[in-house]
Amino acid sequence: MNHPMKTRVIPHARASIGEEEIDAVVGTLRSGWLTGGPMVQAFEQAVSAYLGGPQAVSTNSNTMGLLITLKALGIGPGDEVIIPTNTFVATAMSAHHLGATVVPVDIDPHTLSLAPDQVAAALTPRSRCLLPVHLGGLPCDMEPLHALAARHGLRLVEDAAHALSASRGGEAVGAAHRSDATVFSFYATKTITCGEGGMVTTQNADLAARLRRLRHHGIDRDAFNRQESRSWDYDVVEDGYKANMTDIAAAIGLAQLRKLPALQARRQAIAHRYREAFAPLPLHLPAAPPAGDSHAWHLFIIRLRPEAPLDRDGFMLAMQRRGIQCGLHYIPLHRHSFWRQRLGLTPQAFPVAEEVFASSVTLPLYAAMSDDDVTYVIETVGDLLSC
């Protein structure tokens, strides 16, 4: 099969925005209330209901959601927070900005998530928190992590930036019955989007109340809740941040959340086509969820085998020449100069992440992909990797 170069352009990701989101934003603009107000409260309540009832606290990003959660749990200078090296920098920065020490560890070769044996080996008397990442939308195996946290008195916060709609063991990611909290992202490329935004979910009402203060400068009441009486009266009770969601963002999020079942079904259908089509090729498919669990399919990460006719860089360049934009998730933390120099990290300490990094490519997968786009990706991958 011979394709002319760039017969079309297929982005790595694209949000599914329709008239519902546009109408919601226009209605919010006309309401006169643009910052955190009735739409934010409605969005929080809707996310809570979707996940089965945890407390839900919105933020302006996943990053700030992680930061205020760690702060609310008492994480600070002298504490160590264990995270996978294969994650976006936001996971690490959330702990770093609180003065905590980030401890990246190697990943599981099958799930590409935090490896429990590596966590156990990294524990020290200063370890205070585990911060696993549900990479690509595949839920981590939380049982061994919960066991480690319980045995060593550690906090456990789930970075679920990729995992809204995923479930494990009959429970939605975000229900947070055994973890201290779960933090979602509504960035433009995520399963649903607000443009920018995040959400912390927890079963701990006291923790949720503190998160609401921390997201708004440590003030004991937000602006919307000061409308009923003594609107001028408030108190700053601790050092907080400016991390609240706006009503404009929440209006988009509400419209997106109503579409989530359809958006997720489309992602699953594309992932199923990819898995069937790519099975004969010289690559490793992304791990499937265990029976009874569900994958959010935010990302479709393949790994090229040594016998593939192209290496990772050559494959990505060939895909780009044919108009298909691929991603890389992620350049591991230990390869970034800031973390390498600050923490004294070397590639030799992360053999699995190194192997994964050298061979991984993330293919386009988003609900707005047409069947023709999916077919084009499948045919192009097959053309490039057929031995």
Give a yes or no: residue 12 inside a domain.
no
Same domain, 101 and 239: yes
Same domain? For 92 and 215 the reply is yes
Do 264 and 243 fall within a single domain? no
pLDDT at 8: 86
3-state secondary structure of 265: helix
Mean pLDDT of the chain: 95
Query: Range of 151's domain?
Result: 19-256
pLDDT of 6 reads: 57
pLDDT digits (tens, 9 = 90+) for 64-87: 999 999 999 999 999 999 999 999
Residue 373 lies in a domain: yes
- Pair 201, 272 in one domain: no
Please write the tens of the pLDDT for every residue from 248-296: 999 999 999 999 999 999 999 999 999 999 999 999 999 999 999 999 9
Cα–Cα distance measured from residue 17 to residue 4, given in angstroms and rounded to the nearest whole number: 30
Report the CATH number at residue 122. Answer: 3.40.640.10
Same domain, residue pair 201 and 330: no
Same domain, 200 and 294: no
Q: Give the Cβ contact number of residue 307 at 10 Å.
A: 9
**Is the same domain home to 173 and 285?**
no
Q: Tell me, what's the pLDDT at 1?
A: 47
Kindly state whether residue 3 falls inside one of the protein's structural domains.
Answer: no
User: How many independent structural domains does the chain possess?
Assistant: 2
Q: For residues 308, 314, 316 and 319, what is the CA-based torsion angle, rounded to 10 degrees?
A: -90
43 in a structural domain: yes
Is residue 218 located within the same domain as residue 319?
Answer: no
Q: Give the tens place of pLDDT for each residue, 174-219.
A: 997 899 999 999 999 999 999 999 999 999 999 999 999 999 999 9
CATH number reported for the structural domain that contains residue 340 in this entry = 3.90.1150.10
Q: Residue 220: its pLDDT value, please? A: 84
What's the rounded mean pLDDT across residues 119-148? Answer: 97
- Which of 203-224 are b and which e, b meaning 16 or more Cβ less than 10 Å from the residue's Cβ? bbeebbebbbbbbbbebbbbeb
pLDDT at residue number 210? 97
Q: Give the CA radius of gyration of the chain.
A: 21
pLDDT of amino acid 177? 87
Same domain, 232 and 333: no
Catalytic residue IDs: 190
* pTM (predicted TM-score): 0.95
What letter does residue 308 receive in the DSSP assignment? S
**Closest by Cα among 65, 26, 7 to 200:** 65
Q: What is the pLDDT of residues 227-237, one digit of tens each?
A: 555 566 788 99
Which of 256, 271, 286 is a domain's end point?
Answer: 256
DSSP string, 28-84: HHHHT--SSSHHHHHHHHHHHHHHTS-EEEEES-HHHHHHHHHHHTT--TT-EEEEE
Count of all residues that appear for the chain in the document: 387
* 267, 225: one domain: no
Of 235, 256, 277, which residue constitutes the final position of a domain? 256
Q: What is the pLDDT of residue 5?
A: 56
98 and 226: one domain?
A: yes
Domain-terminating residue out of 256, 285, 316? 256
CA distances from 111 to 71, 166, 312 (A): 29, 14, 19
Mean pLDDT over residues 20-40, rounded? 95
Considering the domain architecture, whether residues 227 and 285 belong to the same structural domain is answered as no
Residue 4 lies in a domain: no
Q: What is the pLDDT of residue 228?
A: 58
pLDDT digits (tens, 9 = 90+) for 212-251: 999 999 998 765 555 555 566 788 999 999 999 999 999 9
Phi-psi region of 242 (alpha: psi -120 to 50; beta: other; left: phi over 0): beta
pLDDT tens per residue, range 299-345: 999 999 999 999 999 999 999 999 999 999 999 999 999 999 999 99
Confidence of residue 117 (pLDDT cuts 50, 70, 90): very high
What was the pLDDT predicted at 227?
Answer: 56
Is 326 within the bounds of a domain? yes
Mean pLDDT for the stretch of residues 140-164: 97
Task: Report the share of the chain in percent with pLDDT over 70.
Answer: 95
In a domain, 6, yes or no: no
